[in-house]
Amino acid sequence: MTLQKKAIILLSGGIDSATTMAIARQMDFDAHALSFRYGQRNIVELEAASRVAQHFGVVKQLFVDINLRLFGGGALTADVDVPKNRDVAQMAKDIPITYVPARNTIFLSYALAWAEVLGSSDIFIGVNAVDYSGYPDCRPEYIAAFENMANLATRASVSGADRLKIHTPLIEMSKARIIQKGRELGVDFGLTFSCYDPNEYGLACGQCDSCLLRLKGFNEAGLEDPIKYVKYS
Amino acid sequence: MTLQKKAIILLSGGIDSATTMAIARQMDFDAHALSFRYGQRNIVELEAASRVAQHFGVVKQLFVDINLRLFGGGALTADVDVPKNRDVAQMAKDIPITYVPARNTIFLSYALAWAEVLGSSDIFIGVNAVDYSGYPDCRPEYIAAFENMANLATRASVSGADRLKIHTPLIEMSKARIIQKGRELGVDFGLTFSCYDPNEYGLACGQCDSCLLRLKGFNEAGLEDPIKYVKYS
């Protein structure tokens, strides 16, 4: 019997983090899911994160409360209308209104704290530089800089333990490729949720940036999205 | 009339952060104090942070709740006895039991989020590599790596705004020097608090690492510590 290595996987309950979880499990890591409550407008996303974690048999899932509303900025946490029906090509160029300041930096910092306590040297994050090129903290050079900093930040860095690695298996993949990869690895996308602005019954709007990218991805992958949308209901 | 530049100052209510605040004010920054509730055993430290912020006329002070207990590890947040009457020379070599995993990384990440929303490019942190050499996240090479990461993380980094700077004015100072510097700049150390393990009346224990370093600092600076200690009461 070999001792399995532990990994922390940032898990939002969307397609990208579900596929990232599947990749970490395929690499035979003991999965520790880290999810955040950060003043999202809806709780549907957190329920999806729980379902995905359960589906992949995680050792433990932690929910961390962080109040990014405190600082303002970003439609996901402030009282700004979520933009609808934008052009997908344009989304990739702009920094979106749904951008949350320093979000991945805060998420990865918490992951680093948990990794140190667990004795883990592997953190997985489903960032993607193709569809989300507008988010500065999804770029490969940002991830490399975080990894470098993390390796100077912790007790492990002093004791000479394994070098901490930030795994970004999706960083060069299109949404369609992520969906195909997830499908190959047994992800049930019916468990996931992506919408920034669901209705009162938790149905996805089908018009926000996140829904449009998701639908385009399924379309290009030649697959049907198993979740329900308001416009179809 | 010139527009003052805004700075974020991490403020715990101890000697180091109070002196750091004084330095930022002397440099004529509009001060924005960022303090954390992170499962400390006592609230006295937060009251000190409020007093110091008020004393220096900050524009705004925010308290962020972060639950580092969730991950375990570190006497300040877990149910471990705070060590007493340790040798000061030894403290500087060990990674102390009061070490909290990734604490400064999490603190600085929140500061980065606030800086981005405010349009500030200056963050002050009172880390010190002399008395706290056991803390990996107090070393100059760690701070430089965080600054490099931060400059790739944010919208400002894409738009070409001012480069973000992490100011660490105390990093090479002894505790005695920090106290002298604070005194020169008008810090009232009677407002500050350092103890890891105060009694039920909020009096400092005089025996934990933090009290011992503080008392040694005042002694070497040739000044009297204005706060009360249990052993004197």
Domain assignments of chain A as residue spans, ordered by start = 6-194
- Is pLDDT of A83 > 80? no
SS3 A61: strand
Q: Which CATH superfamily is domain A6-194 in?
A: HUPs (3.40.50.620)
Given a contact cutoff of 8 angstroms between Cβ atoms, the answer to whether B49 and B12 are in contact is yes
Q: What is the pLDDT of residue A79?
A: 59
The answer to whether the CB atoms of B95 and A158 lie below 8 A apart is yes
Size of interface A-B (CB pairs under 8 A): 133
Mean pLDDT of B57-64: 95
Q: How confident is the model at residue B233 (pLDDT cuts 50, 70, 90)?
A: very low
Point out which residues pair with B33 in neighbouring strands. B9, B61
Mean pLDDT of B58-70: 88
- Which residue spans within B127-232 are E strands per DSSP? 165-167
Distance, first Cα to last Cα, chain B: 50
- Is pLDDT of B44 > 50? yes
| Per-residue pLDDT tens over the stretch A116-135 | 989 999 999 999 887 666 78
Chain A residue whose CA is closest to B62: A70
| CA distance to partner chain A, nearest, from residue B215 (Å) | 27
Mean pLDDT of A63-78: 72
Average pLDDT, chain B: 87
- Is pLDDT of A233 > 60? no
Q: Virtual CA dihedral for B216, B219, B223, B227, nearest 10 degrees? A: 50
Q: How confident is the model at residue A200 (pLDDT cuts 50, 70, 90)?
A: confident
3-state helix, strand, coil in chain B (%, to 5): 40, 10, 45
What is chain A's Cα-based Rg? 17
Number of Cβ within 10 Å of residue B76's Cβ equals: 24
Buried b (16+ CB within 10 A) or exposed e, B184-222: eeebebebbbbbbbbeeebbbbbbbbbbbbbbebbeebe
The answer to whether the CB atoms of A148 and B145 lie below 8 A apart is yes
- Which residue spans within chain B are E strands per DSSP? 6-10, 30-37, 60-65, 122-124, 165-167
In CATH, B6-232 is 1.10.645.10: no
| Per-residue pLDDT tens over the stretch B66-91 | 877 778 765 555 556 777 888 877 77
- Is pLDDT of A15 > 90? yes
Q: What is the pLDDT of residue B1?
A: 47
| Per-residue pLDDT tens over the stretch B92-148 | 666 666 667 888 999 999 999 999 999 999 999 999 887 666 788 999 999 999 999
Look up residue A119 and give its two tokens.
Answer: 């004795």
Distance between CA atoms of B53 and B34, rounded to whole angstroms? 9
Q: Virtual CA dihedral for B100, B104, B107, B110, nearest 10 degrees? A: -130
Mean pLDDT of A37-64: 88
Contacts of B117 in chain A (CB under 8 A): 71-73, 101
Contacts of A112 in chain B (CB under 8 A): 101-102, 105
Contacts of A157 in chain B (CB under 8 A): 136
SS3 B166: strand
| CA distance to partner chain A, nearest, from residue B201 (Å) | 31
Query: For residues A160 and A109, which has the higher predicted lDDT (pLDDT)?
Result: A109
Given a contact cutoff of 8 angstroms between Cβ atoms, the answer to whether B164 and B115 are in contact is yes
CB nearest A113 (choices: B62, B71, B152): B71
Q: Which of A86-90, A179-183, B117-121, B144-148 has the lowest mean pLDDT?
A: A86-90
SS3 A199: coil
| Predicted-complex ipTM score | 0.89
